[in-house]
């Protein structure tokens, strides 16, 4: 069976302010094949998101010159729980796209890594509920009327889902992904998602028809060679914690995770199982399929 992709890039993003290398900074892992088709990986570490975005563009430009098809996985959510766009008063459809446009218009992320993610979370709370939820969690100096340091009382905004369908599917097992609404604390992904989505939007805009984002522009379905041949880059959401990771001597945890996730995706493609991973489980109802491909997105491999 023909492989869908020639290279696999996994980006571990961060919402941190200030320049930083090493642990909890931007890591990018690349798995590709040498002239003898042997798989090998390389990892890159940069101090800011702006440098990470520039590096991604550079890597993708190199692959495009070679005529490669590349799968790019980002370790943050590409969508929000069903109904989020509507609660924000965003009328355009599809919901995922209007959310991306909203975030791109509100997030300010400077070259030195300073950003306004807490202010944007507070604004979204004000628009959605006029209370300090569903977003929660901020350092004391960032707390305000519409964003608190701690999780709101149980039942606050209870009609707003805490998790997307994909996270609920993961939570049936041992792994416990965080909610998009959590902005601060160990493992929190809320900030990464807010600063990450505008970056992915810019990346895809620069690619034009050569780029696609799963499952939003491809549909939530098994993908074949004919689906990926017209494009050079397919963007997807990944969660490195799903894949067994053992850090090599001297490797940072994040570095090991981007390496092993890129390798795992490459090996799935070798075995012919990656194509199926782009589709839902058999028997998934149409309402969920529409929810996933229209607004929420899905974690590849769940």
Under a CB-based contact definition with an 8 Å cutoff, are residues 132 and 145 in contact?
yes
pLDDT at 1: 65
Three-state DSSP state, 69: coil
pLDDT of 13-24, one tens digit each? 999 999 999 998
Which long-range contacts (C-beta less than 8 Å, at least 24 apart) are formed by 199-208? 199/13, 199/49, 199/53, 199/109, 200/74, 200/78, 200/100, 200/235, 201/100, 201/101, 201/103, 201/104, 202/53, 202/104, 203/53, 203/56, 203/57, 203/60, 203/235, 204/235, 206/57, 207/60, 207/232, 207/233
DSSP state of 172: T
Q: What is the mean pLDDT of residues 4-15?
A: 97
pLDDT at 244: 84
pLDDT of 197-211, one tens digit each? 999 999 999 999 999
pLDDT of 182-199, one tens digit each? 999 888 999 999 999 999
Q: What is the mean pLDDT of residues 7-33?
A: 95
pTM, full prediction: 0.96
């Amino acid at each position: 069976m023909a492989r869908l992709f020639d290279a696999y890039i996994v980006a571990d993003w961060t919402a941190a302010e200030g320049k930083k290398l090493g642990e909890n900074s931007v890591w990018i892992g690349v798995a590709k094949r040498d002239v003898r088709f042997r798989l090998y990986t390389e990892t890159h570490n940069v101090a800011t998101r702006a440098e990470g975005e520039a590096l991604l563009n550079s890597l993708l430009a190199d692959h495009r010159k070679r005529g490669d098809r590349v799968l790019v996985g980002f370790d943050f959510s590409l969508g929000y729980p069903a109904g989020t766009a509507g609660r924000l008063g965003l009328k355009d459809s599809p919901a995922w796209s209007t959310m991306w446009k909203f975030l791109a218009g509100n997030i300010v992320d400077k070259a030195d890594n300073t950003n306004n993610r807490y202010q944007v979370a507070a604004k979204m709370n004000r628009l959605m509920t006029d209370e300090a939820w569903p977003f929660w969690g901020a350092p004391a100096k960032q707390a305000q009327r519409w964003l608190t340091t701690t999780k709101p009382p149980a039942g606050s905004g209870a009609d707003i889902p805490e998790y997307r369908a994909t996270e609920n599917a993961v939570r049936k097992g041992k792994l416990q992904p965080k909610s998009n609404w959590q902005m601060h604390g160990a493992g929190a992904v809320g900030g990464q998602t807010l600063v990450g989505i505008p970056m992915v939007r810019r990346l895809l805009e620069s690619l034009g028809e050569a780029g696609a984002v799963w499952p939003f522009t491809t549909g939530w379905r098994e993908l074949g060679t004919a689906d990926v041949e017209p494009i050079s880059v397919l963007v997807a959401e990944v969660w490195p914690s799903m894949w067994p990771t053992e850090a090599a001597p001297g490797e940072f945890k994040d570095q090991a995770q981007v390496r092993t996730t890129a390798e795992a995706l490459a090996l799935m493609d070798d075995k012919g199982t990656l194509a199926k991973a782009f589709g839902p489980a058999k028997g998934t109802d149409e309402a969920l399929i529409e929810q996933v491909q229209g607004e929420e997105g899905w974690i590849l491999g769940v």
